[in-house]
Amino acid sequence: MRKTQTRRVEPDTPFENVAEHADSLEYEDGYIVAYSDGKEVGRHKCNYKVGEVVAVAQRYSELYPPEHTITFRNANGINIKARLDQLDGWRNKMYVLSDLMPYRIRITGVKAERIQDISVDDCFKEGIMMEDDGISPSYYFLDCEHNGFVYGRTPQESFQSLINRISGGHLWNNNEWVIAYEFQLVM
């Protein structure tokens, strides 16, 4: 199954405080809105809206030969010509230009929850896979960094291992509030 959901930490203390005491959290036009006793008690602007199309960031080194050159406008409005292997985006996808990315996703759903409240279905949407030998199913994800699979007894246990590798353990252990974005590939 292809990954169709991702979670992002929302480092907004006022949001955490309101969410903690809300009866419900609803997505409304780009915001997570908190309600208590049927009244709005706070709102948090999401990074993405339902329907928005977003580029999937990849390192340039995964997509282009080192000698590939581009021309782009820098922050001062000056056109710059550069080899991709000389730019920060060669090694770090945080610094790439979205126009150079081949894949796009469309946001199809947004919700807020505690990281440990992830459902079984959402674990699979996050990329957790199941292996069933007929005796006892196991759940796993591919750890590309270490060239192997990481197994768990439940989908949530496997997802916990995955998120701990990404976040260093604090996200799951602190049961942080996250925004879950569901998406589909649109190329």
Is the confidence at residue 89, as pLDDT, over 90? yes
pLDDT of residue 146: 66
Report d(CA 74, CA 95) in Å as an integer: 13
pLDDT of residue 25: 95
Burial of 89 (0-12, 13-18, 19+ CB in 10 A): buried
Could you read off the pLDDT of 64-80 as tens digits, one per residue? 999 999 998 888 999 99
Report d(CA 187, CA 182) in Å as an integer: 16
Question: Which of the two residues, 21 and 115, has the higher pLDDT score?
Answer: 115
The domain segmentation of the chain, as residue ranges, is 5-56+103-185, 57-102
Is the confidence at residue 148, as pLDDT, over 80? no
Q: What is the mean pLDDT of the chain?
A: 91
Is the confidence at residue 124, as pLDDT, over 90? yes
pLDDT band at 37 (very low <50, low <70, confident <90, very high): very high
Is the confidence at residue 48, as pLDDT, over 80? yes
Torsion of CA 66, 68, 69, 72, to 10 degrees: -90
Would you mind telling me the total number of residues written for the chain in this entry?
187
